[in-house]
């Protein structure tokens, strides 16, 4: 297959490197851009470049931040005695979108996975221990995925954090809200029964 334009080819190839974009979507995007006004494409390019130039990681929690410390860590009205541990920066956005959590976060930037060559040293753990040791941290919530890697990381952190005398909790597991019991798999139902609460 050869396109009439090398420039078009280049853009399609770049787009199709993005997650969830195949050659067809990439070519649709490229044609859309071709038809856009020049100033609109410049704005698009500017926003991509300034994203890359200006966003860094927060020196405290490891989440994404425009400054040295992110807006969540700087916010003094948040409960600094409560830290929620998540796998990546996107999880912070997910939990923040609920608007119901008022504590701080800590981003691990991965999970323990020996098969991928990732051990505790490769994760953002040493700064977590420093945070828990020096601040007035009461409780740490582990909000990691329910996979073998997530479970291993949860166990590992629970072990070192409880040695520091901090209360360690894990988010509940079971049926998603609004889900039909009939369609849930066995493991989910078993977890739901194990994690039942008194009314």
Partner 1 sequence: MYIDRLILQNFRNYDNLNIEFSPGLNFIIGENGIGKTNILEAIYIASNIRSFRNIPDSEIIRWGENYYYCKSLIKENEYRKFEVGCNIDNGNVRKKIKIDDREIKKASDYFGKLLTVVFIPVDINIVSGSPDLRRRFFDSVISKIDPSYFEVLNKYKKILSSRNTILKQLKEKRSNYYNELDIWDSMFADSSYFIVKKREEFIEEFSKLFSLSYEKIAGTDSVPVIEYNSSIKSMHRDEILSELQQRRDKDILFGSTGIGPQRDDYLFLNNKRLFVNYASQGQKRIAAISLKISECDIIEKITEKKSLILIDDIFSELDKNRRENMIGLFQRGNQVIFTMTNSGYFDSMNVISTYKRFLVNYAGITEN
Contact set with partner 1 (CB under 8 A): 112-115, 119-121, 148, 151-152, 155-156, 159-160, 185-187, 190
Element (H, E) at 92: helix 89-96
**Residue-by-residue DSSP string for 29-79:** HHHHHHTS-HHHHHHHHHHHHHHHHH-EE-TTT-SEESSSS-HHHH-TTSE
CA nearest neighbour of 141 among 167, 164, 114:
167
Cβ distance to partner 1 smaller for residue 8 or 160:
160
Q: Provide the minimum distance between the beta carbon of 115 and partner 1 in the complex, in angstroms, as a whole number.
A: 6
| Closer by beta carbon to partner 1, 82 or else 87 | 87
Burial of residue 133 (CB within 10 Å: 0-12, 13-18, 19+) is: exposed
We find the least distance from the C-beta atom of residue 64 to partner 1, in angstroms, to be: 28
Tell the smallest beta-carbon distance from residue 40 to partner 1 (Å): 34
State which residue, 160 or 166, has the beta carbon closest to partner 1: 160
Q: How far is the CB of 183 from partner 1 (least distance, A)?
A: 9
Q: Compare residues 93 and 190 and give the one whose CB is closer to partner 1.
A: 190
**Shortest Å distance, C-beta 32 to partner 1:** 25
Q: Which one, 70 or 128, has the nearer CB to partner 1?
A: 128
Contacts of 141 (CB under 8 A, 6+ apart): 82, 83, 84, 85, 103, 169, 170, 171
The three-point CA angle 73-76-77 to 5° equals: 115
């Amino acid at each position: 297959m050869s396109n009439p334009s090398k420039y078009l080819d280049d853009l399609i190839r770049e787009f199709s490197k993005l997650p969830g974009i195949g050659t067809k979507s990439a070519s649709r995007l490229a044609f859309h851009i071709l038809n856009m006004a020049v100033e609109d494409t410049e704005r698009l390019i500017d926003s991509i470049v300034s994203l890359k130039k200006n966003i860094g990681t927060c020196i405290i929690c490891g989440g994404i931040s425009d400054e040295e410390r992110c807006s969540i860590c700087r916010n003094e009205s948040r409960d600094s005695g409560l830290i929620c541990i998540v796998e990546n920066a996107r999880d912070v956005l997910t939990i923040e979108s609920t608007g119901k959590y008022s504590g701080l976060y800590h981003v691990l930037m991965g999970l323990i996975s020996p098969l991928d060559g990732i051990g505790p040293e490769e994760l953002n753990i040493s700064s977590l221990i420093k945070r828990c040791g020096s601040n007035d941290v009461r409780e740490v919530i582990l909000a990691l995925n329910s996979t073998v890697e997530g479970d291993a990381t949860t166990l590992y952190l629970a072990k070192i954090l409880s040695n520091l005398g901090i209360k360690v909790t894990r988010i509940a597991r079971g049926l998603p809200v609004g889900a039909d019991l009939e369609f849930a798999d066995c493991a989910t139902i078993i977890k739901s029964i194990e994690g039942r609460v008194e009314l």
